[in-house]
Structure 1
Amino acid sequence: MSAPQNRTLAAFGAVMVYAVLIAFTDNFVRIIARDGGLWQFHATRTLMALVLLALAAVPLGLHLRPKRPGPVLARSAIHAAAMVIYFGALAFLPVAQVAAGLFTAPIFVLLIQRLLYGRPIGMVRVLAVLTGFLGAVLVLGPEAMTGASFAALLPILSGALYAMGNIATREWCAGEAAATLLAGFFAMLGVIGLVGMAVLWLLPVPVAEGADGFLVRGPVWPTGDFLWWTFVQAAGSLVGVGMIVRAYQIADAARVSVFEYVILPASAAWGLVLWGERLTWMAMAGMALIVVAGLLIARPEKAQSPTASRQ
């Protein structure tokens, strides 16, 4: 059977749609955080996303049942943990900064593959790791090094877990449909959300007003803004992930993984347009270094690219 034809331009267009959608919807987590809690957000978003996915399954011929439930469950738990941390950080930090932390994932992929799977690392990739680490420090600011703010470290932790989930996608879940992994991911987020809501309902803690109470706020009666922007998040995530999965289906993964870094300037652009947020020259320099690290890591090899689609 002949190899599928590369449609690089079409893949780039799909990634652009993904980046613009995700960067836009993530900017409104701060509104969701003002009216609700992180755990209620994930539970509500999962319900909305799974309903939309179920409605689309029959007309689009999507396969949602996993072939091997165990690996899919483990992979879903890892990626869900990454996204819980990611969205928690969005309540406190600019989207561009959080996205930059998440996109240190290729660096962690490289290190995990070397330490756990014994795969060799060339000097170019060693340089990429050092470059990416420096970029992350510049984007996150001196707080990441001094430990003055735990929130400043959250995007890096999210990137590490996202990397583990990407490795699990390839190593444990080969042959599973993209829709199956997407359904598993959202379902796990929903379970985590429900558990968090139950714990905070049984053991309530003092909650600050507005977005400052996002992480520890238990179940509350949802406002119209909360429901609307959570729905926008659910629909945007489904379409965005569908676009990035499609991109990996029609073009070489090494090229598409480089295209994914367009979400960094997209996040910065939406932050400027929507909220007037301007990045410092240090943060912009750090984002540039992270992109350079991704370009180095994504150099074509015989093996699959170290970055995987955002599921």
Structure 2
Amino acid sequence: MAAAGFALAASAILSFIDNFVAAVGQEAGLWQFHVFRTLFAVPIFLLIAVVSRTRLRPQNLKTLAVRSLIVSAGLLIYFAALGTLPVAQAGAGLFSAPLWVALLSIVLFGLKLGAVRWVAVFAGFAGALMLLQPDPATLSYLSLMPLAAGLFYGLGMMLTGIWCNRESPLVLALGVFLTIGIVSATMLTITTNWPGETFLSRPYVDPTPRFLWLTLFQAVGAIIAVTLIAQAYRVGAPAVVAVFEYSFLIFASLWSILLWDIQTNRLAIAGIVVILTAGCLMAFSGKKAKEAPSSA
């Protein structure tokens, strides 16, 4: 239940701050945004560490680096997909992560999910498709990009509880921010020398006050959310937490209504119901599995 709560809180925050990425795109490119977000985030991490008396030295630098690279790859592929695909297709692909978590848990670690959890995973993904409603007529090989994002993101989150359960959530979050910042700095150098006109290929521009405030806002929100989701995967079963991450889509729909008065159709509402049902099934099956040995 604690892991589910962390995942729900992280999804609510991330879905809120993502509403303002379009505003950032009016000021600068994607890579410049990530570089400045990292520059804002690192001092905040240091301040939090000092106040909370948390050490930022990793327990195992090698496993932390691998986990950070995998998670960052998933997130950056997702952002790259947004430059060439509709948001619905990119989002549907990224939220294939729970399926990848389930499959990788079996293939790599020999874990057993049980019939109920399998149903919950596929139901959650089906609900995500109902909510996002991607257009099959526009599908192409580029649609594999967000699926790859889901694969990397799911693998990284699964490895969080297996390899990095001794790392603090603050260290896990900082690792992802630094990795994305380093990769983005490299890409910003490339796009500055070979500029384009899209959000992905835009060169460095002098930051405006609006860009700085929006980026700082994004950095603070992302720090909180990434720390929460890292804690969720540290204390909860990856397949369970992954299903609760579908709530991102639910919160995104709610924020669209509250912030921009964008209404949701009946199919999307049905998708929300399916997602909630899948989360309840996953939570109930996990609770039942824990109680079974004590009653035997």
User: What TM-score bracket applies, with the shorter chain setting the length?
Assistant: 0.7 to 0.9
CA distance in 2, matches of 1:33, 1:266: 22
Q: Hey, what does 1:178 align to over in structure 2?
A: 169
1:159 paired with 2:159, answer no
Equivalences for residues 116-195 of structure 1 within 5 A: 116-144=108-136, 147=139, 150=142, 155-195=146-186
1:97, CA displacement in angstroms?
A: 8.2
| Stretches of structure 2 lacking an aligned partner (at least 5 in a row) | 291-296
CA distance in 2, matches of 1:16, 1:171: 21
CA distance in 1, matches of 2:39, 2:140: 37
Across the aligned residues of Structure 1 and Structure 2, the Cα RMSD in angstroms comes to 3.4
**Equivalenced residues, count:** 286
1:79, CA displacement in angstroms?
A: 0.9
1:144 and 1:40, CA in 2 relative to 1: closer, same or farther beyond 3 A?
farther
Candidates 212, 228, 234, aligned match of 2:219: 234
1:58 paired with 2:50, answer yes
Indicate conservation of the 8 Å contact 1:101/1:136, yes or no.
no
Candidates 254, 268, 274, aligned match of 1:283: 268
| 1:130-185 residue CA offsets vs partner (Å, 9 max, x unmatched) | 323433433343435751594x6655443332211111112222311221111111
Give the partner amino acid of 2:103: L
1:103 and 1:295, CA in 2 relative to 1: closer, same or farther beyond 3 A?
farther
1:60 and 1:93, CA in 2 relative to 1: closer, same or farther beyond 3 A?
farther
Identity over aligned pairs, percent? 37
1:67, CA displacement in angstroms?
A: 1.9
| Stretches of structure 1 lacking an aligned partner (at least 5 in a row) | 1-5, 208-212, 304-311
Candidates 180, 183, 206, aligned match of 1:221: 206
Indicate conservation of the 8 Å contact 1:103/1:159, yes or no.
yes
Equivalences for residues 1-311 of structure 1 within 5 A: 12=5, 17-88=9-80, 102-144=94-136, 147=139, 150=142, 155-204=146-195, 206-207=196-197, 213-244=198-229, 257=241, 260-298=245-283, 299-300=285-286
1:186 and 1:144, CA in 2 relative to 1: closer, same or farther beyond 3 A?
farther
Q: Which moved more, 1:236-245 or 1:252-261?
A: 252-261
Give the partner amino acid of 1:219: Y
Q: Hey, what does 2:294 align to over in structure 1?
A: none
State the secondary structure of the residue aligned to 1:27.
Answer: helix
Q: Hey, what does 1:210 align to over in structure 2?
A: none
In the superposition, the TM-score normalised over structure 2's length comes to 0.80
CA distance in 2, matches of 1:146, 1:247: 35
Indicate conservation of the 8 Å contact 2:160/2:233, yes or no.
no
State the secondary structure of the residue aligned to 1:28.
Answer: helix
State the secondary structure of the residue aligned to 1:128.
Answer: helix
1:290, CA displacement in angstroms?
A: 3.6
1:198, CA displacement in angstroms?
A: 1.4
Q: Which moved more, 1:175-184 or 1:217-226?
A: 217-226
CA distance in 2, matches of 1:160, 1:286: 22
State the secondary structure of the residue aligned to 1:75.
Answer: helix
| 1:95-134 residue CA offsets vs partner (Å, 9 max, x unmatched) | x986665444222210111122232343223323432343
